[in-house]
């Protein structure tokens, strides 16, 4: 009997051997499996002292990985002076290699390794993160490379994830109706706002996909601003500015039915949005759209979880969890954010 495999997990050593074969970086002296999330991520150390990150792309509800766009966008941002972890070409000049696995071929891409400190809840770090994101958006307007396979619009972020969620085995008929009603009201609320600003989005800028570092690495100049360096652009694409900026408060707010943001959380959000607007002013309509896009982000996440059930199991989104999500999303229908 031939078993079907949803997703296998290659060892770090086997990924190292593949990279040695297909990249002109020499011998890998150390390797480590870092994490399994939507993709599988590895660290590779080479004999010449170079260190890289390898991403083994997984099947996603959206479709195939967006690597050709991601690589060109990263090259554009880097060329414009933004601090990003670029995609590294294979020995043949390709963006990635195809890895044969029991579940089928999957793409493996290599990226620059970046160092720094995790974005803390301290004001200088939050401001550095916001300024860096504003810099990405400003530089992104000049991008003229290969088109993205995906656009971060309401269809991609809300309507399609909702349909995937409704098909989940843990979804009940009554909960399904409630999610559909919530999604329809949210969609209409966003449409009623009118035209919204668009940028080249990182797509997952919640503060943990960037590091911060001092402007002066020696530490001798203490009054210079800290800066941010960004990585993990797997969700990048053209899309709504309000969605891009909603990801950070979405990550801060308690995502429970009775959760109330603390004064600290609200202060962090205000520090972020004020630093962003100081670096790159934005329209009032886009500011007003951030709160509803926090709910859009949650719909997107639920759709991603539903799409990962073959790998993570149905209890990644049990029925009682879905019931709590409905209650939380109802509360978020009236959510407003201070500026």
The CATH fold of domain 117-332: Aminoglycoside 3'-phosphotransferase; Chain: A, domain 2 (3.90.1200)
Digits of tens for pLDDT over the chain (339 positions)?
889 999 999 999 999 999 999 999 999 999 999 999 899 999 999 999 999 999 999 988 899 999 999 999 999 999 999 999 999 999 999 999 999 999 999 999 999 999 999 999 999 999 999 999 999 999 999 999 999 999 999 999 999 999 999 999 999 999 999 999 999 999 999 999 999 999 999 999 999 999 999 865 555 444 468 999 999 999 999 999 999 999 999 999 998 888 899 999 999 999 999 999 999 999 999 999 999 999 999 999 999 999 999 999 999 999 999 999 999 999 999 999 998
* Residue 124 backbone phi and psi in degrees, to 5: -60, -35
Radius of gyration of the chain (CA): 21
Q: Which CATH architecture has domain 12-112?
A: 2-Layer Sandwich (3.30)
Q: Matching CATH topology for 12-112 and 117-332?
A: no
CB 163 within 8 A of CB 300: no
Per-residue tokens: 38: 């939507």
Distance CA 175, CA 323 (A): 7
Q: Are strands 227-230 and 210-213 parallel, antiparallel or unpaired?
A: antiparallel
Q: Name the residue ranges covered by the structural domains of the chain.
A: 12-112, 117-332
Residue 312, C-beta contacts closer than 8 angstroms, at least 6 positions apart: 305
SS3 call for 283: coil
Report the distance separating Cα 244 and Cα 205, nearest Å: 7
Within the chain, where are the H helices? 12-22, 67-79, 123-140, 154, 160-166, 173-192, 241-252, 263-279, 284-307, 309-312, 319-332
């Amino acid at each position: 009997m031939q078993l079907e495999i949803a997703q296998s997990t290659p060892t770090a050593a086997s990924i190292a051997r593949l990279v040695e074969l297909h990249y002109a970086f020499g011998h890998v002296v150390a390797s480590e499996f870092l994490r399994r999330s939507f993709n599988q991520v590895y660290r590779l150390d080479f004999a010449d002292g170079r260190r890289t990150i390898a991403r083994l792309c997984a099947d996603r509800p959206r479709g195939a990985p967006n690597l050709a766009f991601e690589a060109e966008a990263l090259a554009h941002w880097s060329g414009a002076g933004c601090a990003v972890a670029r995609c590294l070409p294979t020995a043949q000049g390709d963006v990635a290699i195809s890895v044969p696995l029991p579940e089928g071929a999957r793409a493996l891409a290599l990226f620059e390794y970046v160092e720094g400190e995790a974005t803390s809840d301290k004001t200088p770090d939050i401001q550095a993160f916001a300024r860096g994101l504003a810099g990405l958006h400003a530089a992104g307007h000049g991008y003229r490379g290969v088109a993205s396979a995906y656009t971060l619009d309401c269809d991609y972020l809300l309507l399609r994830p909702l349909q995937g969620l409704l098909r989940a085995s843990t979804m009940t008929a009554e909960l399904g109706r409630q999610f559909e009603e919530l999604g329809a009201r949210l969609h209409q609320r966003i449409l009623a706002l009118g035209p919204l600003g668009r940028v080249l989005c990182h797509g997952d800028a919640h503060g943990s996909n960037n590091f911060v570092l001092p402007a002066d690495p020696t530490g001798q100049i203490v009054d210079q601003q800290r800066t941010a360096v960004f990585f993990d652009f797997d969700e990048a694409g053209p899309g709504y500015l309000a969605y891009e900026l909603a990801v950070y408060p979405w990550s801060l707010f308690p995502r429970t039915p009775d959760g109330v943001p603390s004064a600290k959380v609200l202060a962090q959000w205000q520090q972020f949005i004020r630093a962003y607007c100081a670096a790159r002013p934005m329209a009032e309509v886009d500011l007003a759209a951030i709160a509803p896009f926090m709910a859009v982000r949650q719909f997107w996440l639920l759709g991603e979880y539903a799409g990962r059930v073959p790998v993570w199991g149905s209890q990644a989104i049990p029925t009682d969890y879905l019931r709590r999500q409905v209650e939380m999303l109802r509360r978020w229908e009236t959510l407003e954010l201070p500026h």
